[in-house]
Structure 1
Amino acid sequence: MNEAGDTGLAEVRVDVWLWAARFFKTRSLAKQAIVGGHVDVNGGGCKPAKTLRAGDRLRIARGEERLEVEVLALSERRGPASVAQALYRETDASRLARETARAERRMVGATAPPKRPDKQARRELRRLKDGG
């Protein structure tokens, strides 16, 4: 069996590569994302068994996160994160968009509505409303 990041592989299934590159925790989750239309290969949709080659471009949507990556190497085995990061390169536009979205979420979180009052706060509100 080939080692993670081995360039001896000519083709790998998309769901296997997404799992090996640590975009999804399990191959099953990678397959569900592909079937759900959250993964595009070279600008078009794909199926889990589609073969992936070095140089292909992927668009991956995970929750609110949108990634666009270029495949640098192929692997069928899930290895350490440092090895997995060597399998792809994220585009500059994708990285900038993710950082902008993260900053916007942080700003929205700072102005989030107050939480529901707890027991002590409810009693205080009742006292203020009743005037006593």
Structure 2
Amino acid sequence: MSPAAPGSDGQRATVRLDVWIWAVRLVKTRAAATEACRGGHVKVGGRPAKAAQPVRVGDEVRVRIHGFDRVVIVTQLLAKRVGAPAAAAAFDDHSPPRPTALEAAQVPHRPRGAGRPTSRERREIDRLRGRES
């Protein structure tokens, strides 16, 4: 079935990833959604996704915004931007809780000019930022 072909209930079977992210208000502009995809900040099913990738109901979309991951499950496909209550009904939010101010302050600081972090230091930084592989 093509992405633009209507489904049996009159809705689209798929929607472009950048359009859906913008429509459900995870980002402010469509251009920001496209840039997030190009920058590798958006994953569908755990894999980096391009802006034109089709999104289907049931897909897990992970968007990195302002240093934090938003993990959402698609429950409804939207191709146009809608109000906040309707947008919130279009996905189930499974995002981890944001760290408290005290936890966020514990990010390690490397002195400027100290060189690249070692593999061990990089793993520790990733663990603290919540990006464990």
- Whether these two folds match at TM > 0.5 is yes
Q: Highest relative contact order (Cα 8 Å, sep 6+), 1 or 2? A: 1
Q: In 2 relative to 1, CA 33–105 (structure 1 residues): closer, same or farther, beyond 3 Å?
A: farther
TM-score normalised per structure 2: 0.67
Distance 2:82 2:12 in 1: 16
Distance 1:49 1:28 in 2: 13
Alignment match, 2:16: 13
> Shift of residue 95 of structure 1?
3.7
The gaps in structure 1 that reach 5 residues or longer are: 1-5, 109-132
**What is the aligned length?**
97
**Greater fraction of residues in helix:** 1
Alignment match, 1:65: 68
TM-score normalised per structure 1: 0.68
Distance 1:21 1:87 in 2: 7
Instruction: Please report the RMSD computed on the Cα atoms of aligned residues, expressed in angstroms.
Output: 1.9
Alignment match, 2:39: 36
Distance 1:86 1:7 in 2: 19
> 1:71 touches 1:88 (CA, 8 Å); kept in 2?
yes
> Shift of residue 7 of structure 1?
7.4
Q: In 2 relative to 1, CA 45–107 (structure 1 residues): closer, same or farther, beyond 3 Å?
A: closer
Runs of 4+ in 1 over 6 A off after TM superposition: none
Map 1:85-104; keep pairs closer than 5 Å: 85-91=88-94, 94-96=95-97, 98=98, 101=99, 103-104=100-101
Q: Percent identity?
A: 37
Specify the code of the residue in structure 2 equivalent to 1:30: A
Distance 2:56 2:85 in 1: 20
The gaps in structure 2 that reach 5 residues or longer are: 1-8, 106-133
> Shift of residue 67 of structure 1?
1.1
Distance 2:88 2:102 in 1: 25
Whose Rg is larger? 1
Q: In 2 relative to 1, CA 55–107 (structure 1 residues): closer, same or farther, beyond 3 Å?
A: closer
Alignment match, 1:120: none
> 1:20 touches 1:84 (CA, 8 Å); kept in 2?
yes
1:70-106: CA deviations, max 9, x gaps? 0000010101000000110111xx243x2xx1x1358
Map 1:47-86; keep pairs closer than 5 Å: 47-86=50-89
> 1:7 touches 1:74 (CA, 8 Å); kept in 2?
no
The residue matched to 2:31 in structure 1 has which SS?
A: helix
